[in-house]
């Protein structure tokens, strides 16, 4: 392959990028995409006109193929990346072959909008996460390994990476040095990764760049969930310590709950964290709630600052009650009619029963991880040459 590289470490979108393989979609792939899109439309109540040419034609005419393409393009305008994220990470029956079909569809597009780029970015990480072995170590997920895993999508990739892609490793190193989810979310690290993708421009579509960004997203999601689970375990340990001291409620206004939130309820919320997170993933609200909940527990233990907020004791923030109820519901569909928890949440226990299980920890599963993180607190510029 003829590699297009910037002369320096800063990507230059003015240089033409050699695209990933543009493979025409065969009729079976088009019909597979139609079934996926139809299910997406039903789940998110998206207006989708019928396309009899796809539904009925086994031996399509050129006109049927053209109409099918128009239907798919029309659905692409309605289906956003957050629809794909929630659908594919919760109730979706889409297998790896279905993800390959979707990726071939988006990579074949000649009009490359930000939405198309973000969908490709998410789908590549989602696909690699599904095909990669659970026991894969971070150090083993190098460019060669990821490129091999993506061969059904990208074919064989020249592994000579442009210098500017090295900045992704520096962002990963910064993420690995974080000690809490709060530090990761508000330290400008996620913003650095997002800006790397945006500033790559057309060079994002270089096969080697697609491999590098897939590896970056896959390893970032691992860092993210290790920190997230560490926060949850810290909260559970803190709640147990408070219970042993006879404390039954704590002030959680900073986490958008009440000033006298029952500890048993907070434990239920932590146990149903998957529902709480995925139900509102695009807004990132559950992530902030988790970070602030850990701060509230630490404050109750005398390890942090006093809770913030001017509301009266016992008063819940606007729109908090439904969100708190949804989080505590666990396995029920009230958190989101479109979310199916991986495991049913346990019924509420007595205080003594909860304390007896205080040592239970959350374990990381490959299927649990999201691919992108939308939260950042600043507008830090991406600096490929800067030290982390």
pLDDT at 332: 37
For residue 71, count CB atoms less than 10 angstroms from its CB and return exposed for 0-12, middle for 13-18, buried for 19 or more.
buried
Q: Provide the H-helix boundaries in the chain.
A: 27-43, 52-56, 62-78, 81-89, 96-107, 114-131, 143-149, 151-154, 166-176, 181-186, 189-200, 207-244, 263-271, 273-279, 285-300, 320-329, 351-356
Q: What is the DSSP letter of 272?
A: T
Q: What DSSP string describes 184-253?
A: HHHSSHHHHHHHHHHHHGGGGGSHHHHHHHHHHHHHHHHHHHHHHHHHHHHHHHHHHHHHHTT--EE--G
Mean pLDDT of 200-214: 95
What is the Cα–Cα distance from 320 to 326, expressed in whole angstroms?
10
Q: Does the pLDDT value for residue 146 go beyond 90?
A: yes
Task: State the sign of the Cα–Cα–Cα–Cα dihedral 50, 54, 60, 65.
Answer: positive
Q: Report the candidate in 266, 187, 184 with the shortest Cα–Cα distance to residue 228.
A: 184
pTM of the model: 0.72
- Mean pLDDT throughout 253-276? 83
**Average model confidence (pLDDT) across the chain:** 75
Give the chain's end-to-end CA distance (angstroms, integer).
32
β-bridge pairing 249-250 and 261-262? antiparallel
Residues paired with residue 261 on neighbouring β-strands, in sequence order: 250
> Cα-atom radius of gyration of the chain, to the nearest Å?
23
Q: What percent of the chain has pLDDT over 90?
A: 39
At 73-118, the pLDDT tens digits run 999 999 999 899 888 877 667 889 999 999 999 999 988 999 999 9
Among positive and negative, which fits the CA dihedral 145, 151, 153, 158? positive
**Do 373 and 190 meet the contact criterion of CB atoms below 8 Å apart?**
yes
Res 322: pLDDT: 47
Q: Is 316's pLDDT higher than 70?
A: no
Q: Which pLDDT tens digit goes with each residue over 331-359? A: 333 333 333 333 333 333 433 343 344 34
The percentage of the chain sitting over the pLDDT mark of 70, rounded to a whole number, equals: 68
Single out the residue of 42, 28, 165, 46 nearest to residue 104, CA to CA: 28
Long-range contacts of 82-85 (CB under 8 A, 24+ apart): 82/281, 82/282, 83/40, 83/44, 83/46, 84/40, 84/119, 84/122, 84/123, 85/122, 85/281, 85/282, 85/370, 85/371, 85/372
Res 156 pLDDT > 90: yes
Contacts of 64 (CB under 8 A, 6+ apart): 53, 54, 57
b (16+ CB within 10 A) / e for 255-290: bbbbbebebbbbbbbbbbbbbbbbbbbeeebbbbbb
d(CA 9, CA 383): 9
Q: Residue 175 pLDDT > 70, yes or no?
A: yes
């Amino acid at each position: 392959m003829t590699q297009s590289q910037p002369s320096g470490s800063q990507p230059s979108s003015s240089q033409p990028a050699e695209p990933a393989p543009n493979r025409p979609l065969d009729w079976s792939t088009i019909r597979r995409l139609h079934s996926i899109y139809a299910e997406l439309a039903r789940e998110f109540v998206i207006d989708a006109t019928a396309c009899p040419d796809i539904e009925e034609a086994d031996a399509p005419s050129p006109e049927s193929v053209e109409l099918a393409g128009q239907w798919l393009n029309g659905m692409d305008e309605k289906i956003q990346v957050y629809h794909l994220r929630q659908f594919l990470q919760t109730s979706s029956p889409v297998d790896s072959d279905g993800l390959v079909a979707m990726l071939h569809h988006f990579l074949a597009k000649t009009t490359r909008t930000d939405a198309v780029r973000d969908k490709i970015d998410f789908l590549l990480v989602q696909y690699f996460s599904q095909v990669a072995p659970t026991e894969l170590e971070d150090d083993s997920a190098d460019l060669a390994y990821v490129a091999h895993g993506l061969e059904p999508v990208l074919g064989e990739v020249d592994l000579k990476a442009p210098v500017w892609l090295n900045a992704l490793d520096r962002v990963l190193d910064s993420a690995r040095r974080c000690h809490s989810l709060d530090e990761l979310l508000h330290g400008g690290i996620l913003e650095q990764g997002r800006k790397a993708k945006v500033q790559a421009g057309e060079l994002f579509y270089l096969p080697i760049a697609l491999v590098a960004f897939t590896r970056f997203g896959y390893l970032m999601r691992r860092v993210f969930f290790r920190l997230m689970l560490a926060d949850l375990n810290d909260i559970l340990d803190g709640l147990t310590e408070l219970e042993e001291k006879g404390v039954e409620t704590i002030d959680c206004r900073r986490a958008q709950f009440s000033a006298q939130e029952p500890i048993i309820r907070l434990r239920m919320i932590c146990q149903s964290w998957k529902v709480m997170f995925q139900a509102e993933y695009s807004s990132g609200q559950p992530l902030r709630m988790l970070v602030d909940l850990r701060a509230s527990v630490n404050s109750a233990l005398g390890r942090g600052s006093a809770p913030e907020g001017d509301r009266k004791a016992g008063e819940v923030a606007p729109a908090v009650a439904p969100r708190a109820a949804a989080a505590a519901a666990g396995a029920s569909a009230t958190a989101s009619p479109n979310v199916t928890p991986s495991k049913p949440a346990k019924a509420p226990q007595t205080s003594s029963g909860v304390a007896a299980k205080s040592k239970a920890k959350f374990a990381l599963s490959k299927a649990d991880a999201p691919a992108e993180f939308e939260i950042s607190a600043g507008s830090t510029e991406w600096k490929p040459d800067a030290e982390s």
